[in-house]
Structure 1
Amino acid sequence: MRLKSFILLSALYLIASSFHGRLWGKEETFWDSRGKRITLEVPVKRAVVTMTYEVVCSLGAMDRVVGISQNAYEFSPVFKALLRKNPSLRRPIIGTPWQIDLEKLTQLNPDVVIMWANNPELLQFLENKGIKVMAFWPDGLKDLFELIEVHGRLFAKEERAKEIIMEMRRFLSYLENKKGNHKRVLILSDPPTRVIADQGIINDVLRCLNAENVACGLGVKYANVSLERIIGWNPDTIFLWRSTSYGPEWILKHPAWQKISAVQNQRVYRMPHLQTWSPSIIGLALWMDQYLHLERIESTTIQELMNAFFKKVFSISWQEVKTYEKD
């Protein structure tokens, strides 16, 4: 009898402990991209997010976010579409990822600020003020998957994070398994001779699409190169980064660019505003694939695939997201 009572009490204690940990929080240790150790009570209750708001939205954890950056409202068609559908997602603006309003941030009293790791001075400034910071810099698909996984732990959405990663991998596998000729790609920024070079996530995606970035290997993320070098690369397809001040027509009509295969074959396209540090990267992969391999997948099929992905991950359709591409 005593043994049964002991077993019952032990079981009740374990259940209560688990419930207590989930309801009132437990401390967990994380490591960010700087190799910095951060201990937080999870699930986080008051986070400020400067760049990974789409990840948080996909997890269904915006109820634990108290502030976001201006970028969400200006540059994320996914967030704009979600906000239109659910206005309660609106959060106070704390500035931009590069310039944070300390007074507003302090008023929000966050448990942690989640931001990019490419501004060490700002990170140090905030930490010197006693603010806990987690900094990330995903430089490849593997890093992005880890970023989503960490956010799942932060917000007690581990299973949802696994679902999202599995869905992303499923779509990438689908694209990898399709047959198509190898393509040589160039991605232009501003000015037109500024190229995207060693951007890990973009280059990982291109490899999944049986394509290569001809500017990869320059040792920098962006590089200014001569037009002669671009002509020498002779890409099959040219993508313009989403924020360029010029469009495809400028490249297609410029006399100096006429020797390039992509120009001769009218294969110059402006990329949509889909983020690369978010599950949205899969939407970008699908979008690129339709122009890289015109013979491989019909555009109607691409639209169906994009709708399926966005509905699964964000509970909105690609058509709803696309509405904000013109903004």
Structure 2
Amino acid sequence: MRCKEGIASGLCCLLLFSTWTVYAETLTYTDKLGRTVDVPLPIKRAVFFETYELVAHLGIWDRMVGISRYAYENDLMRAVNPDIERTIPSAGSGLDVNIEALLKLNPDLVLTWTYKPDIVPFMERKGLTVIAIYLESIAELYEVMRLQGRLFQKEEQVQQSIILMERIFDLIRERVSAISDSEKKKVLWLGRSPTTVAGRTGIPHDTFMMIRGENVAASIHEENTEVSMEQIIAWNPEVIFIWGGAQYKSKDIMDSDQWRHVTAVKQGRVFKAPHWSRWSPRLALVALWMAKRTYPEHFRDVNLEAVTESFFQKLYGISYQSLNSIED
């Protein structure tokens, strides 16, 4: 079930989206594909094709017997565990599972995503226990964090991480609370290509709602979809954000003749997000970064770098300076 009304309603629909219960030493969980999965506890051998950034704040490296090959390119994973490529083998990714390598790892649990749902029953037929996820709201991110806390007996640590995130989200909510509907900025999230936009489903839209931005693509009931340049010009967003993994930069938009009539371009308000996973506690920092750029007048006294440094030290035990800059 998709959560469309922000954190409050997201927490309500969370109960309908998926659940887990524990009987003796078995955790029963209903995943994003609607499958009921029985997971014997405790998990001692796990393979994470997705949400591997969550491992970084739990410190369960000794129970990670395999990980997505994309984790080797992740700035946070490399900073927290410089030996990750040498010590934790890969069995491909959620897009291209190496089933032979995966079976050799003999995991108690494989956590993947739903992008290629046919892979899940294929892994099951090989005798593997698999949970498939796809996070479409901040509430669902919290749910998966709590699930992992239960799987690895790290419930208290997960709760402390959520508390740290909520402190930042509360700061955002407080600062934007006085913004009226008529004052809301028209915002747009661009994806893999400059004409791929985020609709009213997914974490970008959820984040827009939190920072009181008006998602101009909210009429589209999809997470990402292609639209025409004419449609973007008609929407005329005042602030544009670009997915951090995109192969183009804000300058490419700013220098394009096609975009020159869009208000965000005229005012120089096109920003590329850091290349951080949105399925991660770091989402809280990205939300603050977005809020500060959407309503700078409400966040002038907020030192984003200081907040980020404190967050990294408390959650990951490393300095933010060891990663790439958050600025575009």
Fold in common (TM above 0.5) = yes
The change in CA–CA distance for 1:171 and 1:120 in structure 2 (over 3 A counts) is: same
Equivalent position of 2:79 in the other structure: 81
1:1-327 equivalence runs, <5 A: 26-74=25-73, 76-84=74-82, 90-179=87-176, 181-298=183-300, 301-322=303-324
Counterpart CA distance in 1 for 2:30 and 2:292 is: 38
Rounded to whole Å, the distance in 2 between the matches of 1:171 and 1:191 is 30
Tell me the SS of whatever aligns to 2:230: helix
- Take 1:319 and 1:126, find their aligned partners in 2: how far apart are those partners? 40
Shift in Å at residue 299 of structure 1?
7.8
Amino acid corresponding to residue 113 of structure 1 in structure 2? V
Query: For 1:114 and 1:54, how far apart are their aligned partners in 2?
Result: 13
Alpha-carbon contact 1:77-1:324 (below 8 Å) kept: no
Residue 263 of structure 1, CA deviation: 0.5
1:79-114 per-position Cα deviation (integer Å, ceiling 9, x unaligned):
121123x66984101101111111111111000101
CA distance in 2, matches of 1:108, 1:190: 33
CA distance in 1 between counterparts of 2:250 and 2:326 reads: 20
Assess if the C-alpha contact under 8 Å between 2:46 and 2:108 holds in 1: yes
Q: Evaluate the alpha carbon distance shift between residue 70 and residue 40 of structure 1 in structure 2; reply closer, same or farther with a 3 A threshold.
A: same
Contact 1:42 1:156 in 2 (8 A): no
- Cα deviation, residue 51, structure 1: 1.0
Aligned length: 300
TM-score when scaled to structure 1? 0.85
Partner of 2:4: none
The aligned amino acid for 1:69 is S
Cα distance change on mapping 1:296 and 1:317 into 2, 3 Å: farther
Matched-pair contact (CA < 8 Å) for 1:198–1:219: yes
Q: In structure 2, the residue corresponding to 1:295 is in which secondary structure? A: helix
Deviations 1:257-313 (A, max 9, x none): 111110110111111111111111112112212211222223871111111222222
Please tell me the residue identity of whatever aligns with 1:125. F
Unmatched 5+ stretches in structure 2: 1-23
For 1:320 and 1:206, the matched residues in 2 are separated by 29
Amino acid in the other structure paired with 2:38: T
SS class of match (1:120):
coil
SS of the equivalent of 1:106 reads helix
Structure 2 CA distance for partners of 1:135 and 1:274, relative to 1, 3 Å: same
Q: Is the 8 A contact 2:56 2:76 kept in 1?
A: no
Hey, what's the Cα distance between the residues in 1 that align with 2:266 and 2:234? 15
| Greater C-alpha radius of gyration | 1
Quick check: which one's helix share is greater? Answer: 1
Deviates more, 1:263-272 or 1:291-300: 291-300
| AA matched with 2:245 | S
The alpha-carbon deviation at position 69 of structure 1 amounts to: 0.5
Q: Determine the C-alpha separation between the residues in 1 that align with 2:226 and 2:84.
A: 42
- Against the structure 1 CA distance between its residues 90 and 29, is the aligned structure 2 distance closer, same or farther, given a 3 Å change threshold? same
Percent identity over the alignment? Answer: 34
